[in-house]
Structure 1
Amino acid sequence: MSQKFVVVDLETTGNSPKKGDRIIQFGAVIIEDGKITGRFSSLVNPLQEIPAFIEELTGISESMVKNAPLFEEIAPQVSDMLEDAYFVAHNVLFDLSFLQEELLNAGVEGFYGPVIDTVEMARILYPSADSYKLTDLASREELDHDRPHQADSDAQVTAELLLIMLDAVKALPLVTVKELAKLSEGLKSDLHLIFDDVLNMKESSLEDLPDHIEVYRGIALKKRPETQRALHSVINYPESVEEKKAMLQKAFSGYEIRHGQFEMMDSVHSAFMKNGHALIEAGTGVGKSLGYLIPAAIFSLESHNPVVVSTYTTQLQEQLLNNDVPKLAKVLGSKINASLIKGRNNYISMARFEHSLREVEENYDTALTKMQILVWLTQTETGDFDELNLSSGGMLFWSKVKNEPALFLKTKHWESYDFYQRAVEEAQQADILITNHAMLLADLVSEKGPLPNYEYAILDEGHQFEKAAGKYFGKSLDYLAVRLVLNQLGLYDQNQLFYKLERLLRNDLRDSRLHTFEVSQLISDLVYETEELFKLAGTYARKTVKNKTYGSKIHASIVPDRDNRVWTALKTTAERFYFDLKDLIVALEERLDEAGKSNHPYTGVQQSILEEVVQVKEDLEAIRDTARTLFMDGSDYVKWIEADLRSLQNSTTIFSRPVYVSDYLAQQFFMKKRSVVVTSATLSVNNSFSFIKKELGLENTLIEQQIPSPFSYESQIKLIVPEDLPDIKSVSHDDYVAAITEHIISIAEATKGRMLILFTSHEMLKKTYELIKESGLLEEFILIAQGITAGSRTRLTRNFKRFDKAILFGTSSFWEGVDIPGEDLSCLIIVRLPFTPPDEPITAAKCSIIKESGGSPFSELSLPEAVLRFKQGFGRLIRTSNDRGLIFIFDRRLVTTSYGKAFLHSVPDVPVEKGNITEIVDMIDDWL
C-alpha cells in the first residue's frame, strides 16, 4: 500500500461555503508508505467575524487570525501537497466542499482525485462503536487528542486513526475482504480502491487464519468459545457483618463498607429462603446490583434453582452481564454460570444473511450495513443486534436478516451457528439468567417460551414493571408502519415483492381463486382504505380536542358514539380495512400453498422472495388482529388516538391498552412464583409501598424495606424554590415560558452551565429552548435538547458531558436512567411537578374507575405517580459521595400546597430555601 494520503481538517466560520462561510484554520498530515512523513498547518484570515459559538468550540479568536495569511496565499502549497494523493477527512464531504470552493476562488485548480471518508471507514470497521465522532474513536483507540476542534490536532488524530484502520483491513480474513470489495463499489468515498488493494495482496499469498476465526459457507465467523459449565462447591451465605466484609474486601481492595448493601443482601437471601415476595427500595449509592446478585448466586448454587434477573432497559442488562457478573465471580471466588437472553428477533439469522449477500446491492444503506455485519461476524460471540450501531436504513435491512422461523429457506446447514438457539441453550444452563421485562412477560404468555422453568426472580427497575406489562398487552397501529408493509408488497406494475411473487409462480397459479390483477386491485383498495382510516382518525382526534390551547401533539380517547358522524365513518372504514386485509391474507396464503406444493426446486433468491412474502403475510395478520382489537372488540381496554397537528395523517397512531394489569400479574406471575424480589430506587410514596403494591397486584409480601442512600444529602445538595415565578395556572402559557426562561438564563450564568432541565411537556421544552436561543444571552453555552438535537438519549448525554458549558433539556425519558456523575452535572432544574395530564387516556380511565368506587383519583393515583417520577428526577443529581449540586423546583406548589409535603417526605431530607432571583444568584455564588 504505497499510496500517498493527505489527511485534512478545517475549522470554519460556519457550515456553508456557498453562503459565504470561510476557513479559519487548515491542518494536513501526509502519509506515505504507511508512515507519517509530513505536516502542514496554518491559521487563515477569513476577512469576517468569527461567531461566538465557533470561538467557544475551537478556541480560535479574531485576534489570533488578524495577521494570519489569506487562504489564497497558502492555496498553491495546498494544491501541490494534494497532487497524486488520496484526500482523507473525517466526514470528507464537508472538508472537500469547503476546500474546493476556496481553491477555485484562489484561482487554483480544485482537487479531483480519490477521496476517503474516515467516518464511512470507521462505520464498517467498528460496527459496534457507540459513536463515530472523532473524539470518541480517538479515545477508543487510546490516541492522544489534546485539542479537539483545532485543525492540526484533528488532522493528526485522523491520520493516526487511518493508519490503524488500514491495518485493520489487512487483518480481516480473505473471504471477508472479498465480500467487502464487492459491496464497496456503491459507497460515497473511494474505499473500494483500498479493499481492492488489500484483496490483491491477500490473494497473492497463503492465508493463515487467526485461531479465533473459522470460515463456513464463505463467511468468516468468530469461533464459538468452548463454554465450560462452571462447577461449584457450595458457598455458604455470610451471615455476620464481619463475614460479608471479609468476602467483599477479598474481592475489592479498598472496599468501603456499605451497611445498606449488607441489609439488601440479607433481605434478598431471606425472601428466597422463606419463599416470599419482597419490595426493596434502595437509594442511590447502596450498591444495589451486587446487593441482590451475591445472595441470588449463593442461593442458586445452594438450591440448584436458577434465578431470573429482569430489567426494564437493555442498558442495565448489558451492565449486569459485562460489569457486575465479573465482580460477582470475584466475590464468590469462582465463575458463575450467567447468561443473557433477549427476544428471538434480536439475533441474526445466518441463513437469511447468506442469502442477502447473493443479491446485487444498489442501496447505499443496505450495502454499508452488509459490510458492517460482515466485519461484526468476525467479532461477535452473541449475534445480538444491540451490539451493532446501524443507521435507520440499516434497521430496515436488519428486518430481513433477523432470526425468524423459515418456511422456504433452507436453514438446516446453519443450525449449529444459530445464535438464538445458542442463547436458549445457555439460558437453560444458567444459574443467573438476565432478561428484560418485555421478554419475561412474553415468556409468561407463551406455551414454550425461551426461559427455563424458574421459581425465583428479581425485578430490577421494578417501578417500570406495570408500565412494561401495559405496553406488552396493549396494541397499536400507526400509519407509517402499515404503509411500510403495503409498500414492500407493492402493486403488480410497481415491480415490488408482489410482482416478484407472481413472476415466480406464474406457472402454478392456474387454480387460484383470485387472478393477479384482482389481488393487485385488492392491494390498491387497501392502500386507499389505509389513507382514509388514518385521515378520519386524525380528524376524530382533532375534533375531540378542539379546545386544545397549546402545542401540536394531541391525544384523544376513543369513545364509541353512534351519534358522532366522524366516529361512525371511522368505524365503517375500519371494518372495510379489516375485511380487505382478510381477503389479501387469504390470497397470499393460497399463493404460498401453491409454492409449497410446487415440484421444481427454488433458487436461493426465489427462496428469499418467498420468505419475504411469509414475513409480509405475518405482518398483515398482526395488523388485522390489532384492527379487530381497536375497532371491533368491546373489551375493557382503553383506546385512544395520538397525532401531531403539523402532519396529521403521517403521525397518527391508534392505541389500545388494558387499564389495569394488576390482576393478570397477580394470578399469572406473583402467585405462580415462589419468591419475587422487586427493587428500584423509587418504590415508596411518603414512606409507604401501598401504591406500587396495588399497581403490581402484589398482595402478600414477606419483606418491605427502604434502604436509604449512604450519601449526606444535607451537605451535598441545596434545594431552592424561586418565589418570584408566577403560578402556572394564573398566567398564559407563553408568559409562564417567558418567566422561566429569564430564571434559567440567570441561573445558567451564575452556575456556569452543567445544567439538566427536566420538563413535563415537549412543547414547553421546545418553546423555552427557542426563547433562550433567540435571546442570544447564552451564546457561549452548548444547548442540547431532546427531540430537537439529533441523537438518542445516550448520545445526547454523552455530548452534554463533552462540553464545559452545556445545558441539557429533557422530557419523559430523561427523568430516569440518565447517569451523569461528578462534575459533569452540578445543577438540576425541575420545571413542573411531574403530574400526568388528567386527559392522558390511561390516567383518565384509571381515574374514572377510582371515582366510581368512591375513591379519590388525586390521592390514589395522580399524586403517588407524580411523587415516584419526582424521586426519579431528584436522583439524577447526586450519583457518588463526592457530587455536589443545586436543585431548583420552579413549581411553587411544592411549598404552597398540603400535598407538597408528600414530595418532600419521599426524598432525602434536605432543607428547602426560598427567594427571588437576585437572592438565588447570591445563594449560588456562596454555595459555589
Structure 2
Amino acid sequence: MAIRTFSLLDIKGALALSDRSYAVVDLETTGTQRHAGHKIIQFGCAIIHHAQITEHISITINPERAVPREVLALTGISQASLRTGPTFDEVAPTLHQLLADKVFIAHNVNFDLPFLNEAFENVGLPPIEPLAYDTVELAQVMLPQAVSYRLKDLSTFLNIVHEHPHQADSDAIATAKIFLLLLKQIGQLPRPVLQQMVALSHYLSRQTGEVFEQALHEKTAQELPSYLQKVGEFVIRRQKPTDTTLGRHAHDHYPATDPEKRQQFDQELKPRPAQFAMMDFIYRYQNNEASEKLIIEAPTGVGKSLGYLLPLSYTLTSLAKRRLVITTSTTVLQAQLDRQAVPLLNHLRGVNFRVAMLKSASHYLDFDRLAAYLRHGAKNRGTAINEMRILVWLTQTQTGDLDELQITNYATEFFQSINHLPTLVPSSQYFEADFWRRVVSRATSAQIVITNNAYLAQHLDDFTSDQDMLVVDEAQHFAEDLTQSSHGYFSVMRLQNRINQLLELVRVLQDNNDVEPVLERLQSPLFACQLLLNQLIQQTQELNDQIVLLAHQNFIRETVYLQAEDIHPHQEALLGALEQVIDSLDRYLDQAIELEETLDHEALKSDTAQKMMALIFHNNQLERLQEHLLTAVDHLQDREFNQYGFYLNLDDDGINYQLNWLAMSHQSLRQKIDRQFSLQIYTGASLAVGTDFSYFLDHLNFNAHDVHCLRLQSPFLYQEKAELLLPQETYSPSENGADYDNWISNTILPVLRQTDKQTLILFNSLSSIKNVYGRLQSALGFEREVMAQGITGSNDKIAKRFRLAKNAILLGSQSFWEGIDFPGEQLSLLIITRIPFESPKNPTTHYRNSLLKAAGISPFNADTLPKAILKLKQGFGRLIRTETDRGIVLMLDERVVNSPYASKVQQAFPEKLPKLILPNQQLGHHIQDFFRD
C-alpha cells in the first residue's frame, strides 16, 4: 500500500508554508523512460526545515547495467563511482523513510516522483504519496518574464550559484533555493490576486496549486502596497508619474572638437574617432533650412546609436517643438534603443528626454478581453498557467507589452483572445488604465518616438508635422519594409473553415436550449446567425471559383504570378463576389453583436459559457478576415493597380491557397515621408557594396545628387582578431536537398566535436536547418545544447538562451543574419553554409526581377548579387562585436573564391581579414589552435 503521512486538510490546518518540512529531490537516470527499464544512477535531495536548507544528500547508485556514454558526459558521473556505489535496493528503505513525512518538491515533479515510485515498487516497497509541488510550474507562474524555465537558466536568472548542472545534488540544492524564493514571492502577492490564483490553481500538476490556497489562508493584510492599485477585476502596478522636465542641462552646447567630446564623455565611454566623425557629419546638416537626406554606413563597433542621438539631442533641447522619430526594422531593435541607447544619452547630456515606443496594438494586453477570458475561456493546464502568470505580471509590468512574457507562440487562441484590438472603448472601466491608450497618449508629447518600419508605413498620417527629424536605423531594410507594408492576402479556405466552426457552435447552442433554459430566448438570433452563415458558405464558394479562374488551372501546386491580363477579364466578377461576401459578413457580424449584447453570461453554465467565448473569439477572427477582403477590393479598384503584384500561393498547410497583393512601388509613401520629415538620416552597418551606395539609393529612388553619404571605417583590427576559413573539399551549393544537408552535417560535425566554443550556424533555408539539426542533436545533444530556429523556440527566446549558454550551437536563418548581438565569448565560431542569395520564387524578388528584365537590366548583377553581398556582410558582422572579441568564420560555399563574381562577394568581408583554405580534416585542429593561441 502507498504511504501518505498527512492529508491536505491536516497540513493546511497545522503548518504554515514556511514551517513545513520539504524534500527537494532530483534524479539522474540512464534514460527518461521508466517503463523501458531505465534506472536511477544518482539521487540528490535538499531538506528544508523552517524555510532553511538544513542538509543535503547525494548518493551515486549502481544501476547494474551499462550507462550510455552520452549520459556519463552530461552528468559527469564516472563508471568507477557507479561500479562502487550501492544498488537501489540497498538504499531504498532509507530513502523511503526520508521522504515519507515531507512535502515532495521537484523541477518537473511528474518525472521524478513516478520514476522514484516505480523504483520503490521494483524492490518491494509501496509507492509514496506525499503532497508534491512542481517548481517548473511555480516558476512559470511567478517569474513570467524569465527567458527559460530550465533549471540552469532559472538559476542564472535568479543569481543562484549552480556549480554542477545535471548532477543530482547540485540540481536539488539549486531547486531548493529557487523554491524558497518562489515561496517568498507567493507570500507577497496581494489578497485579490491570490484569490484569482486559487480559482485556477487546481489545474496545476499534483498538489502544486495548494501552495496558493495555503498562502491565501495565511494572508492577513487586506490593503494593497502603495505601488499597486485595483482596477476592475485586476491588481496592477501604478504608472510611474511622467517627468516632463528636461533636467539640469549639464551640457548645453554641442562639443564641436574631439577634445571637447573626450572631456564630455570623460571616463564613461571610450573615445571612437569614427563615432565622432558621424556626430559631426550629422550636426553639420541638421540645422540647415533646406531638406537634407544623410546616408551613413556605420560598421559594428562605431556606436551608431549614440552617433546620431547625441548631435540630434541638441536640437531637441534648443527648439521645443522639434521631435525625433527613430524607426527600425524590428521590435527587438526598438527595445534595444529604448533600454540602452536613450538612457545612455540621458546620462551623458544630463537630460531626461520624454520617450515613447510605438508598435501595433496587438502587442499589448486588453483588460476587457482578459476579464472575459478569465470568466468564460476554455480551461486546461496550459491556459491556466498562462492566466496565472499574466495575473502576476500585471503586478510587475509598466507597459502591458506582451513581448515581455517571452512566449514561444503568440498565435495561440489564448493570446489571440486577450491581445489588444486596434480600437479603444471609452466607456470601458479599464479605459484610463489601458496600456495601448497610454502608449498612444505618451507619443503625442514625446520628444523621441521609437517605432518600426511597418508601423511607420501604416500610421504615417498619425505623425504630426513637428516631428520633422527621422532616423532610419538598420536602413538596408527600409525599402523592402515599405513595400511589404502594403502586402496583404486572404484565404478563402481559412474563411470557410472559420464559418464552418461558427456554424457548428451555433448549432450546438441551439440544441442546448432544452437543458439550459437561458438559451431559449436566444433561439431567434441564433437561427438568424445560422441562416447568414449558410449563405456565406455558398458565397465563399462562388468567390473561390472566381479566384481559380485567374490561375487558369483547377489546382494550385506552386506560386502562380498574375499579370494585369490575367486579372482584367475577371475583375468585375471577382469584385462582385468579394462585395457579396463582405456584405453578408457585415450582416452576420451585426447579428452576432446583437446576440452577444442579449446574452447574460453569468447565467450560463460553465460549458455553455466556454462555447460562447469560442463564438466571440471566432467572430473577432472573422472580423479581421473581413478587413483583408476590404483591402483586396481597394487594391483591385485602384486605377494604378498595375503597380501591384498579384499572386496565388499555397497556404501554410500546403493544400489551400491565398490570393496575395504586393505594392511594387513605394513612391507614394516616400513622397509622404519627404513632406513630413525635413531631415532624414539613413544608417546601418551594410548600406554600401564595397564603397558604392548605388544599390541602396536605387531601392529608395534617391538621386545621388540629393543625398550626402558618409562611409565610416571599422575600428576593429580584423587581421589580429579573426580569420575566414574555407574547406578544400566542397559540395556544390547549387545542389539542394538531403544530399547537400548531409554534406554540411558531415563537414561541421568533426569541427564541432573538436571545439567547445559558442557556435552560430547561418542557413538560407529552414528545411536545411531541420535536417542538419536532427543530425547534430543526435550526435552532440548530450554534450552541447543545440538550438534551432523554428524548432526549439521563438527567435527571441533561443537568442536569449544562447546568450546564457557556455558552449551551445545555434542554427539560424533569416533574422539571425543580423540585428542580434553576441559579444565576447557568447559567439566565437560563425559557420556560414552558403552565400545568402534570395530565392527567385520569393514574390518580391520575382516582381523586382520582372521589372528589371523589362527594362533590359540583368536582375542578377543589379539586384540579386548586391543584395546577397550586403546580407553576407551583415552575417559576418555577428562575429566581432567589441574590440576584445576574437573569432573564426567558416564559410562552406566555394563560390566565395571560385566563381566569376568571387571578387565582388569578398567585398562582404573586411579587406584585411586573413583567408585560409584548408583540407577538411584540418579545419577543427586549426580552429583549436587559433583559440589556444
Interval containing the TM-score (normalised by the shorter chain): 0.7 to 0.9
Alignment-derived partner of residue 744 in structure 1 = 748
Deviation string 1:451-482 (CA, Å, 9 cap, x unpaired) is: 78511111112112223223221013358964
Asked if the contact 2:248–2:351 (Cα under 8 Å) also holds between the matched residues in 1, the reply is: no
**Residue number among 434, 441, 455 corresponding to 1:425 in the alignment:** 441
Post-superposition shift, 1:573? Answer: 10
Cα 1:178/1:509, change in 2 over 3 Å: closer
Post-superposition shift, 1:69? Answer: 1.6
Q: Does 2:874 align with 1:872?
A: yes
Q: Does 2:445 align with 1:443?
A: no
Cα 1:372/1:702, change in 2 over 3 Å: same
**Residue number among 688, 707, 710 corresponding to 1:705 in the alignment:** 710
Cα 1:659/1:619, change in 2 over 3 Å: same
Post-superposition shift, 1:635? Answer: 4.5
**Residue number among 791, 807, 810 corresponding to 1:808 in the alignment:** 810
Post-superposition shift, 1:36? Answer: 2.4
**Residue number among 668, 672, 681 corresponding to 2:672 in the alignment:** 668
**Residue number among 818, 821, 827 corresponding to 1:819 in the alignment:** 821
Post-superposition shift, 1:181? Answer: 1.0
Tell me which amino acid in the other structure corresponds to 1:338: V
Tell me which amino acid in the other structure corresponds to 1:199: L
Post-superposition shift, 1:858? Answer: 1.3
Asked if the contact 2:24–2:45 (Cα under 8 Å) also holds between the matched residues in 1, the reply is: yes
Asked if the contact 2:399–2:435 (Cα under 8 Å) also holds between the matched residues in 1, the reply is: yes
Task: Report % sequence identity.
Answer: 30
Deviation string 1:255-282 (CA, Å, 9 cap, x unpaired) is: 3210111112122323322241111111
- Taking the TM superposition and a 5 Å limit, the aligned residue runs for 1:312-351 are 312-351=329-368
Q: Does 2:487 align with 1:474?
A: yes
Post-superposition shift, 1:913? Answer: 2.4
Tell me the secondary structure at the aligned position of residue 116 of structure 1: strand
* In 1: Cα distance, 2:624 partner to 2:305 partner: 38
* In 1: Cα distance, 2:118 partner to 2:572 partner: 58
* In 2: Cα distance, 1:540 partner to 1:105 partner: 65
Quick check: 114-123 or 516-525, which moved more? 516-525
Quick check: 227-236 or 466-475, which moved more? 227-236
- Taking the TM superposition and a 5 Å limit, the aligned residue runs for 1:168-247 are 168-202=185-219, 205-232=220-247, 235-247=252-264
Tell me which amino acid in the other structure corresponds to 2:293: H
Post-superposition shift, 1:486? Answer: 3.8
Asked if the contact 1:349–1:418 (Cα under 8 Å) also holds between the matched residues in 2, the reply is: yes
Asked if the contact 2:22–2:104 (Cα under 8 Å) also holds between the matched residues in 1, the reply is: yes
Post-superposition shift, 1:725? Answer: 1.5
Tell me the secondary structure at the aligned position of residue 66 of structure 1: helix
Post-superposition shift, 1:200? Answer: 1.6
**Residue number among 464, 467, 474 corresponding to 1:454 in the alignment:** 467
Quick check: 703-712 or 604-613, which moved more? 604-613
Post-superposition shift, 1:874? Answer: 0.9
Tell me which amino acid in the other structure corresponds to 1:762: L
Post-superposition shift, 1:310? Answer: 1.4
Tell me which amino acid in the other structure corresponds to 1:458: V
Q: Does 2:477 align with 1:464?
A: yes
Tell me the secondary structure at the aligned position of residue 459 of structure 2: helix
Cα 1:239/1:702, change in 2 over 3 Å: farther
Alignment-derived partner of residue 286 in structure 2 = 272
Tell me which amino acid in the other structure corresponds to 2:901: Y
Alignment-derived partner of residue 586 in structure 2 = 585
Asked if the contact 2:247–2:350 (Cα under 8 Å) also holds between the matched residues in 1, the reply is: no
Post-superposition shift, 1:869? Answer: 0.6
Cα 1:601/1:83, change in 2 over 3 Å: closer
Cα 1:890/1:420, change in 2 over 3 Å: same
Asked if the contact 1:366–1:394 (Cα under 8 Å) also holds between the matched residues in 2, the reply is: no
Asked if the contact 1:306–1:430 (Cα under 8 Å) also holds between the matched residues in 2, the reply is: yes
Tell me which amino acid in the other structure corresponds to 1:689: F
* In 1: Cα distance, 2:408 partner to 2:907 partner: 45
Post-superposition shift, 1:654? Answer: 4.8
Quick check: 222-231 or 673-682, which moved more? 222-231
Alignment-derived partner of residue 860 in structure 1 = 862
Tell me which amino acid in the other structure corresponds to 2:228: I
Post-superposition shift, 1:196? Answer: 1.5
Post-superposition shift, 1:713? Answer: 0.7
Post-superposition shift, 1:773? Answer: 6.1
Q: Does 2:652 align with 1:638?
A: no
Normalised by the length of structure 2, the TM-score is: 0.87
Cα 1:472/1:750, change in 2 over 3 Å: same
* In 2: Cα distance, 1:47 partner to 1:459 partner: 65
**Residue number among 363, 386, 389 corresponding to 1:369 in the alignment:** 386
Asked if the contact 1:490–1:499 (Cα under 8 Å) also holds between the matched residues in 2, the reply is: no
Post-superposition shift, 1:675? Answer: 0.9
Alignment-derived partner of residue 786 in structure 2 = 783
Asked if the contact 2:356–2:448 (Cα under 8 Å) also holds between the matched residues in 1, the reply is: yes
Alignment-derived partner of residue 12 in structure 2 = none
Q: Does 2:520 align with 1:515?
A: no
Cα 1:800/1:224, change in 2 over 3 Å: closer
**Residue number among 21, 29, 35 corresponding to 1:18 in the alignment:** 35
Give the gaps of 5 or more residues in structure 1.
Answer: 546-554
Post-superposition shift, 1:125? Answer: 0.9
Tell me the secondary structure at the aligned position of residue 182 of structure 1: helix
Asked if the contact 1:522–1:584 (Cα under 8 Å) also holds between the matched residues in 2, the reply is: no
Cα 1:481/1:77, change in 2 over 3 Å: farther
Cα 1:920/1:184, change in 2 over 3 Å: closer
Post-superposition shift, 1:286? Answer: 0.7
Post-superposition shift, 1:312? Answer: 1.7
Cα 1:750/1:268, change in 2 over 3 Å: same
Alignment-derived partner of residue 74 in structure 2 = 57
Tell me which amino acid in the other structure corresponds to 2:156: S
Deviation string 1:100-153 (CA, Å, 9 cap, x unpaired) is: 222221221113233211111111111122221222222222211111111111
Asked if the contact 1:470–1:660 (Cα under 8 Å) also holds between the matched residues in 2, the reply is: yes
- Taking the TM superposition and a 5 Å limit, the aligned residue runs for 1:152-171 are 152-171=169-188
Alignment-derived partner of residue 846 in structure 1 = 848
Normalised by the length of structure 1, the TM-score is: 0.87
Cα 1:450/1:22, change in 2 over 3 Å: farther
Post-superposition shift, 1:42? Answer: 0.8
- Taking the TM superposition and a 5 Å limit, the aligned residue runs for 1:53-132 are 53-132=70-149
Quick check: 432-441 or 692-701, which moved more? 692-701
**Residue number among 381, 392, 416 corresponding to 2:432 in the alignment:** 416
Cα 1:297/1:53, change in 2 over 3 Å: farther
Cα 1:689/1:617, change in 2 over 3 Å: same
Deviation string 1:32-64 (CA, Å, 9 cap, x unpaired) is: 332323322211222333323322322123232
Alignment-derived partner of residue 550 in structure 1 = none
* In 1: Cα distance, 2:618 partner to 2:924 partner: 64
Tell me which amino acid in the other structure corresponds to 1:186: Y
Cα 1:540/1:712, change in 2 over 3 Å: farther
Tell me the secondary structure at the aligned position of residue 491 of structure 1: helix
Tell me which amino acid in the other structure corresponds to 2:153: D
Tell me the secondary structure at the aligned position of residue 202 of structure 2: helix
* In 2: Cα distance, 1:366 partner to 1:805 partner: 34
Tell me the secondary structure at the aligned position of residue 683 of structure 2: strand
Give the gaps of 5 or more residues in structure 2.
Answer: 1-15
Cα 1:884/1:183, change in 2 over 3 Å: same
- Taking the TM superposition and a 5 Å limit, the aligned residue runs for 1:260-299 are 260-274=274-288, 275-299=291-315
Quick check: 711-720 or 316-325, which moved more? 316-325
* In 2: Cα distance, 1:509 partner to 1:239 partner: 77
Tell me the secondary structure at the aligned position of residue 336 of structure 1: coil
Matched residue count = 896
Post-superposition shift, 1:611? Answer: 6.8
Post-superposition shift, 1:433? Answer: 1.4
- Taking the TM superposition and a 5 Å limit, the aligned residue runs for 1:550-561 are 555-558=559-562
* In 1: Cα distance, 2:572 partner to 2:68 partner: 56
